[in-house]
Each structure stands twice: as C-alpha cells, then as structure tokens.
Amino acid sequence: MNSRRVVNDSSNPPPAASSAPAPEAVPGGSRDAAPSPPAAWWGGLLATGLEEEVDLAQDPDALERGGWWFVVADFEAAVGEPSAVGVPGRGRARAFRFADVRPADPPVGGTWRGPAPGAWTSSMDRAAYTAGVRAVRELVREGVVYQATLCRVLRAPLPEPPDLWALASLLRAGNRAPYAGVLDLGAEGVVSASPELFLRRRGDVVESGPIKGTAVPGGPLGGKDVAENVMITDLVRNDLQRVCRPGSVEVAALLAREAHPGLDHLVSTVRGRLRTGTTWAQLLRATFPPGSVSGAPKRAALDAIAALETAPRGPYCGGIGWVDADRGTAELAVGIRTFTASGGELRLGTGAGITWGSDPEQEWAETELKAARLLAIASGAVP
C-alpha cells in the first residue's frame, strides 16, 4: 500500500477521475530551507522521504505500482525508440518514489560556488562541431534524415560539493523557466531550467510542446526555423498516435513564438487521448527520447547522433519531472537548459537542429547563444 503523505489546499480540487486529493502548487506556499538529500522540488511540490529507486529500463512496470515519482531519464536510456543511442547499459531512466509530497515554494539554498568562468571545456570544439553539421547535411542530401539535433556537452570541475538548491535559486533569478526543478541526491543531482514540455498527462489526455526555432529576443525566425519546427511537430504527432485513440491526436498550436530569458523560440502543442489501458512503459516506448532533441526520422537521427557525438548527453535532452502514478498525472520536461552534477564536476549540454538549410557557423553560434547565459549564472558572471 502506498504510504505517501500528501498535504493539499482544498481550494484546488482533484481531477474528476480521481477520488483522492491531488497535490497542487499553492501560491504563497511555505518557504523551506533546503531539505537533506535525497529530496526533489518541481512545480510547487516538495518531495522528501525517499522510499524506492528504480531504473525503468530494468523495471519498466514500476510506475504501475503507484506512488509519486521523480523521474530523470538519460537521453541514452533504453526505454524508448530502439537505436544506437538507447542501448542497454549506456544510460539510465531513474525513478525515485517519495513518501512525502506537499506544496511548497522552492527551498532556499546556501551560497553557490561554481566553476571559474574559464574552466569550461566542450566535448566538441568549433571545428569538430561544424564538421558534424556538415556530416548531418550530407545525411540529409542522401535522404537518410530530414533533420538531426547535434549536441555538445560542456563540463567544468566544481570547487566543492554542490549546493544544487543555491544554483536553482540563481537560475530562478537570472533565467526563469516554466519547467524548473531540482533533484538533490547529495553528491550528485540535477537542476532544470527547461523551457520545453516533453509530456504532460491528466488522466487519458497527454500533451507535448516541442520547441524548434531559436533567435535572439525580437530577432528573425526564418524559413529554416519554421521547417524544423513543422517536421518535429509532425514527428511528435506520429509518436503520440502510437499510443493514442485513432483520430484523437491534434496539433493544438503551431509555430507560437515564445519569449524566454535571452532567447525567443517557436513552440507547437500536440495533444491526444491515450488508448484505454496504456501503461507508462508503453507511453515512454512510443515517445522517448523527445523528438525535438532527436530528429526525423527518429531512429535514423538517433543512429546519426550516436555516430557523431563524442560524449553521452545523460539527463541533458532526456526527460525530467514527476509522475503521480496513483492519479494518472505527470509533467515531464525535455532536459534542456539543465545542469547535472556528479563526480566533482558540473555539466551542461547545448545543441541545435540541423537541416539542409543549416549553416555550420550559424549552428555553432546558436549553441553558444543557448549556453552563454546559463554558464555565466553558474560561474557567477551573469551578463
């Protein structure tokens, strides 16, 4: 029996399909000091009292057992589309079941001491990345892919064990994001400042919000941006059709321009109704890894990524968020604009969607633009 304790404001009633109170964010909720690890915070919910940790690649039916889970799925986790990326043992899809989940403001951390500004290194330098862009363009010319997202991983040593709550506080001040959260496991953890929805579930309704197309604030979003968004929106629609009722999948919004700190994006919204009896493992199998950070066709793009990228992405570009398996609700973000800490170092990924219309130097510049503000925040030099 699930022993979870949930504190809830009765002004936020649960969905009609549920007979139990759903944990919801409460405006002006309690402000907590940083809890002892392991702990997590996401979307106004603070989770403590870890009861169980599983790898969903090894235990795909864990979420069917019920409970409130914080999920961190590596891009390489073997829970989705079979490919050269998602091979067993290369990545993990970890789910942490917490006993106590309650509405709370984000906990306050201590003092963040991050890497020196000049300490960051990249898994691919400019020459290697632009060569990778040209290689993807050749795959497009050959008809192997229409688009593939090419990423590089930035890393730097941490001067002391990380206070991830303190880093999250800096990100909230300098780079607010709709899908912000923290998983603190002590010596390791994840801090998300993601702008992108991977999956939201409310009963049988599932929704995704792929981002493709990036510009400086107010800058032009051109034909290449539109083309890659439309291609990925179609890919996400096809992914959802694998587990949704026939005729229920719709593109609820296409090419909406959204402003985010230091960037504008094109965002589309795809929505459908799940077939009766669809399991979490089936939903992840159909949709993971997220299409917006993979490419189209997805399997061919993933194989290209495995061949061209020189470092695993880990939680970057994977899925991060929560699943309430008792109530059939969830909110998972695409793990972009996301820091991971482990082994005494901090990592941040950055990438760009490559199409035939890509210019290698401009794609390199896009990866720089996406990372610049976050690196400055983490290194104490916010622009």
- Cα dihedral 126→131→134→138 (10° resolution): -160
Structure tokens at 242: 């694998």
Active-site residues: which are they? 196, 212
Which amino acid is located at 34 in the chain?
A
Beta strands in 216-298 (DSSP E): 250-260, 263-273, 295-296
pLDDT at residue 19 in the model: 28
Burial of 59 (0-12, 13-18, 19+ CB in 10 A): middle
Give residue 198's pLDDT. 98
Return the pLDDT at 31: 56
pTM, two decimals, is 0.91
Tokens for 362, please give them.
Answer: 């401009």
Provide the residue-wise pLDDT of the chain in tens; the chain has 383 residues: 344 444 333 233 333 332 233 344 434 444 568 999 999 999 999 999 999 999 999 999 999 999 999 999 999 999 998 899 988 888 999 999 999 999 999 998 899 999 999 999 999 999 999 999 999 999 999 999 999 999 999 999 998 889 999 999 999 999 999 999 999 999 899 999 999 999 999 999 999 999 998 888 899 998 999 999 999 999 999 999 999 999 999 999 999 999 998 889 999 999 999 999 999 999 999 999 999 999 999 999 999 999 999 999 999 999 999 999 999 999 999 999 999 999 999 999 999 999 999 999 999 999 999 999 999 999 986 64
- Predicted local distance difference test score (pLDDT) of residue 90: 87
Domain 1-209+310-383, CATH 3.60.120.10 — does that match?
A: yes
The torsion of the CA quartet 150, 56, 209, 122, rounded to 10 degrees, works out to -30
Do 304 and 151 meet the contact criterion of CB atoms below 8 Å apart?
Answer: no
What pLDDT score was predicted for residue 382?
Answer: 62
| Helix (H) / strand (E) containing 51 | strand 45-55
Place of tokens 């917006």: 292
Alpha-carbon gap, residue 102 to 41, rounded angstroms: 10
Torsion of CA 312, 316, 317, 321, to 10 degrees: 140
